[in-house]
Amino acid sequence: MKKAKKEKDLVQVLKGKLEKGKGVDIGTMFVKCAHKKGDEVIFKSQRNAFFEVEHTDFTKNILDNSKVKYIIKQDKLYVVGDESLQFANMFNKETRRPLSRGVISPTEKEALPMVELLVKSVVGMPNYKEEIVYFSVPGEPLDANFNVLYHMKTIEGFLKALNYTPKSINEGHGIILSELAEEDFTGMGLSFGGGMVNVCLSYMSVPVFKFSVAKAGDWIDQQVSMAVDETASRVSAIKESSLDLNKEGNLSKVESALSIYYNHLIEYVIENIKDEFDKARRMPQFTKPISIILSGGTSLPKGFSNRFKEILDRLKLPIPVGAVRMAGQPLRSVAKGALVAASADESKK
Ligand SMILES: Nc1ncnc2c1ncn2[C@@H]1O[C@H](COP(=O)(O)OP(=O)(O)OP(=O)(O)O)[C@@H](O)[C@H]1O
Ligand SMILES: [Mg+2]
């Protein structure tokens, strides 16, 4: 089949040296930006977190001198981004998050200026007026009672204020643009993040369906924490440092609970994908088995892709699946895909 024009443009962008445009991934845990310098894609990232400290002139001066990002609201001072973690560690407390389940948190009152500051710090100023920036948005959640419009419009506003031309891209679609050029941008992209799992099925770069579920890494931490009576942050630390989903015998209590909830999460996602196939009114003819790309922080433990394949073999999708593989850079593929979309648009200007 002849390649569609849009696809050709995208392939050119992946190969080319075009430096225009930026891609931003606004996640529950990290905010990341990708831009191109020569052949190289450069990433900038900030932790999407904050920590409240006592507001005195003395503290404010110290923070000003050390270029720590912060905001002041009434009598409160909040350290925002990467440094919030160091402050939290120092006081032996937890950071808080401006985003919850993939979107601006409705319960954190100061979330808006924090997200604005973080977006600004990773994206920087445009290289020229109205530079195109694509930012990721989650798909509509199937299992939670909110939509993503408010979140999307708010982020768009922040980027416009910086003189960018902002456009949104679905998080799963970003993975497809970043990882599936060889397969004509046909296949499925899955991002297992902190607040959400995002899924997009694409045919020749066009999304067929996309959705999110509001269960992911944070949910695993909470469930395991309740099951074994450990703090969620300790569970998360074990999960991030040493979990091996290939390991069969000799599991600690926490490892065994993590394994159970990973199984549940993967089953839940695959069942929801099957439901989307059932709901879809028109489905393109997939002539070859499709590839599935796994990405996101929650997909990082050893053995994750094997576990996913085992469960997929058991539950099965209604179309043939070829390779199931990890994204090249699982924590960066959404930002990179957003950059591909931005560069493609810039090249048409
Ligand atoms: N090595 C690791 N092993 C297991 N889990 C990890 C690892 N590193 C990070 N995580 C988990 O990944 C999640 C964060 O993933 P990611 O950075 O992809 O999220 P995000 O894009 O910020 O969030 P979202 O897409 O849900 O809005 C957290 O739950 C974190 O505990
Ligand atoms: Mg994400």
Tell me the per-residue pLDDT of 204-258, one tens digit each, with 9 for 90 and over.
999 999 999 999 999 999 999 999 999 999 999 999 999 999 999 899 999 999 9
**Phi and psi, residue 43, nearest 5°:** -115, 145
Looking at residue 82, the DSSP 8-state letter turns out to be H
Q: Which residue has the higher pLDDT, 23 or 348?
A: 23
- Quote the pLDDT of residue 16: 67
Reported pTM: 0.94
pLDDT of residue 38 exceeding 90, the answer is no
At 269-315, the pLDDT tens digits run 999 999 999 998 888 999 899 999 999 999 999 999 999 999 999 99
187-326: which CATH topology? Nucleotidyltransferase; domain 5 (3.30.420)
Q: How far is the CA of 23 from the centre of ligand 2 (A)?
A: 13
Region class of 82: left (phi > 0), else alpha (psi between -120 and 50), else beta: alpha
The whole-angstrom separation of Cα 256 and Cα 26 is 31
Ligand 2 midpoint to CA 115 (Å): 15
Mutate to test the pocket of ligand 1, among 26, 28, 48 (most ligand atoms within 8 A of CB): 28
Quote the ligand 1 centre to 2 CA distance (angstroms).
38
How far is the C-alpha of 63 from the C-alpha of 77, rounded, in Å? 11
Q: Which amino acid is at 190?
A: L
| Residue 298 CA, ligand 2 centroid: distance in Å | 10
pLDDT computed for residue 18 by the predictor:
65
**CA-to-CA separations, 151 to 37, 136, 337, in angstroms, rounded:** 30, 11, 20
**C-alpha to C-alpha distance for 316 and 313, rounded to whole angstroms:** 5
Q: How confident is the model at residue 181 (pLDDT cuts 50, 70, 90)?
A: very high
Q: What's the pLDDT tens digit per position in 311-345?
A: 999 999 999 999 999 999 999 999 999 999 999 99
* Cα–Cα distance list, 188 to 111, 176, 177 (Å): 32, 7, 11
Distance CA 319, CA 317 (A): 5
Residues of the chain with CATH 3.30.420.40: 187-326
Q: Ligand nearest 102 Cα, by number?
A: 1
| pLDDT of the residue at 72 | 93
Tell whether the model's pLDDT for residue 9 goes beyond 90: no
67-106 confidence digits (pLDDT tens): 899 999 888 999 999 999 999 999 999 999 999 999 999 9
Ligand 1 neighbours, Cβ below 6 Å, are 27-30, 102, 191, 193-196, 216-218, 236, 239-240, 296-298, 300-301, 331
Question: Cα angle vertex 47, ends 108, 133, to 5°?
Answer: 95
Instruction: Report the nearest-CA residue for atom 14 of ligand 1.
Output: 194
Q: What is the pLDDT of residue 259?
A: 98
pLDDT at site 2? 54
Give the Å distances, CA to CA, from 15 to 8, 40, 106, 193, 293.
Answer: 11, 11, 41, 28, 20
Write a three-state SS string for 97-126: CCEECCEECCCCCCHHHHHHHHHHHHHCCC
Radius of gyration (Cα) for the chain, nearest Å?
Answer: 21
Nearest CA residue ID for atom 21, ligand 1: 27
pLDDT at 1 over 60: no
Both structure tokens of 210: 């996309």
